[in-house]
Structure 1
Amino acid sequence: MLVAAAVCPCPPLLVPEVAAGAAPELDAARAACTDAIGVLAASRPDRLVVVGPAEQSGRGPHQQGARGSFRGFGVDLDVRLGRPGGDGTDGAPEAAAERALPTSLAVASWLLDRTDWSAAPLEGLGVGEPLAAERCIRVGGDIAALGDRVALLVMGDASACRTLKAPGYLDERAAGFDAEIARALGAADVEALKALDEELACELKAAGRAPWQVLAGAAEGAGLSGELLYEDAPYGVGYLVATWS
């Protein structure tokens, strides 16, 4: 059963080494993410599942100890998804350990390491951005059934079309789309997330759509309440931080 969830954005610029100057405009987002992960720890989960968007090579499960890297962004920085197993191994089968974490889970790994996560064992799941809503919701339900006290760390960005300099250029629909996502996350509105327009989300380059719908599937019937901790679009991309508990 899902007992808590944290929703965080996943731009590599959250990592100061990648930002090459700490990107102080993201300090508030970093602080909100730290607070959100604190809510997860306080829920006393027996398992944490980290969900984030992924390209083809990063889709599927990633076990504790799996490696990620920011070398593709010109930074000599490697991360792990949680601490390696206590038996001296990576905590993951060799084949799984060799498969690199997708960027979203690498950012999550950095956030968890920054907060010294030790509250529960964890695992990751990379989901394809084109994954249909019905499948996302079903995956979420399967995650919630993994244990008596499951927590979710959900990584994903809102639209990338908020300004002329945004990655997706300016789209007048983006602000309204992001506002509705912020409202739904802040209210823990499961039905609103389940009903997200997949086509519109794709057109607005909202990488969080599939992970948010996984969250909706996991939270169905859990009776959680939400709180929006952060909402902004410093680079023309919507970044949101919320907690459900």
Structure 2
Amino acid sequence: MLVSAAVCPCPPLLVPAVAAGAAPELDTARAACADALGVLAASRPDRLVVVGPAAGTADVETYPQGAHGSFRGYGVAVDVTLDGKPPGPGDLDGHPGADLPPSLAVAAWLLSHVAWTASPIQGLGIREPLDAERCIKTGRDITTGSERVALLVMGDASACRTLKAPGYLDERAAAFDAGVARALGSADVAALAALDASLATDLKAAGRACWQVLAGAAGGAALGGALLYDDAPYGVGY
């Protein structure tokens, strides 16, 4: 059963070494993510499932605790493991490539930043775009049974908020992001389940599928929500 969930953005710029000091406007986002992870830890879950968008052929890819990720593709020697702690010397020896998709690598960095020790961790990469029905079923499968499960859901909103945004300006983006913010802030599971997948794809909103996994995991539970951060630096909704 689902006992708590947190939704965080997943730009690599959340990792200070990647931002190289050029993104102080993300300090507030980093602090909000840390606060959200504190709420997850306080719920004392038996297992933390980290869900994030991923490229690839598999609809859903599972990553075990200890899977490796890297930000070397962004020009910085930062490696992470999905275990809630920074990798020590030699931990990545024998691993020539990074297993984790970027969204889960960001999650691994966030978890190491707060020194997550509350529970074992499992990663799920969700292929974009994946239809809503499959996303919701995936969420239901995660929380089937009596195990106390917490979800860390990674994903960005639209990438079309300004002329300089990665997806250029789309006049529909602000309204889409506002609807997502309302749904997350009020824990409106029905609104998340009803998100328009086609529109989300047009707006390059990579979090849509993962938010619908959350909707499936939450099911008919009576939930409360709080919105800790809502902004669009660089024209992308976080």
Residue 32 of structure 2 is aligned to residue 32 of structure 1: yes
More strand per residue? 1
Query: In the aligned structure 2, how far is the partner of 1:199 from the partner of 1:18?
Result: 31
Q: Which moved more, 1:98-107 or 1:47-56?
A: 98-107
Native 8 Å contact 2:3 2:150 kept in 1 = yes
Q: Which runs of 5+ in 1 are unaligned?
A: 85-89, 240-245
Aligned residue for 1:87? none
Aligned residue for 1:62? 63
Query: In the aligned structure 2, how far is the partner of 1:72 from the partner of 1:57?
Result: 21
Query: In the aligned structure 2, how far is the partner of 1:215 from the partner of 1:98?
Result: 29
Which residue identity is paired with 1:171? D
Offset at 1:148? 2.5
**Superposed, which structure 2 residues align to 1:1-245 within 5 Å?**
1-21=1-21, 23-56=23-56, 60-82=61-83, 100-145=99-144, 147-239=146-238
Q: Identity of aligned pairs, percent?
A: 72
Give the SS at the match of 1:39: helix
Which residue identity is paired with 2:195? L
Give the SS at the match of 1:134: helix
Query: In the aligned structure 2, how far is the partner of 1:158 from the partner of 1:201?
Result: 8
Query: In the aligned structure 1, how far is the partner of 2:206 from the partner of 2:147?
Result: 29
Query: In the aligned structure 2, how far is the partner of 1:229 from the partner of 1:83?
Result: 22
Per-residue CA deviations over 1:63-106 (Å, capped at 9, x if unaligned) read 0000000011111110000159xxxxx8xxx99x9761000000
Give the SS at the match of 1:61: strand
Query: In the aligned structure 2, how far is the partner of 1:49 from the partner of 1:129?
Result: 18
Offset at 1:221? 1.8
Aligned residues: 230
Offset at 1:224? 1.4
Structure 1 147/49 Cα, relative in aligned 2: closer, same or farther at 3 Å? farther
Query: In the aligned structure 2, how far is the partner of 1:165 from the partner of 1:235?
Result: 7
Give the SS at the match of 1:231: coil
Structure 1 121/31 Cα, relative in aligned 2: closer, same or farther at 3 Å? same
Native 8 Å contact 2:84 2:115 kept in 1 = no
Query: In the aligned structure 1, how far is the partner of 2:81 from the partner of 2:148?
Result: 23
Native 8 Å contact 1:142 1:218 kept in 2 = yes
Runs (4+) off by over 2 Å = none
Query: In the aligned structure 2, how far is the partner of 1:197 from the partner of 1:83?
Result: 34
Which residue identity is paired with 2:69? G
Native 8 Å contact 1:3 1:43 kept in 2 = yes
Offset at 1:222? 2.0
Structure 1 40/210 Cα, relative in aligned 2: closer, same or farther at 3 Å? same
Q: Which runs of 5+ in 2 are unaligned?
A: 86-90
- Give TM-score, length-normalised by structure 2: 0.93
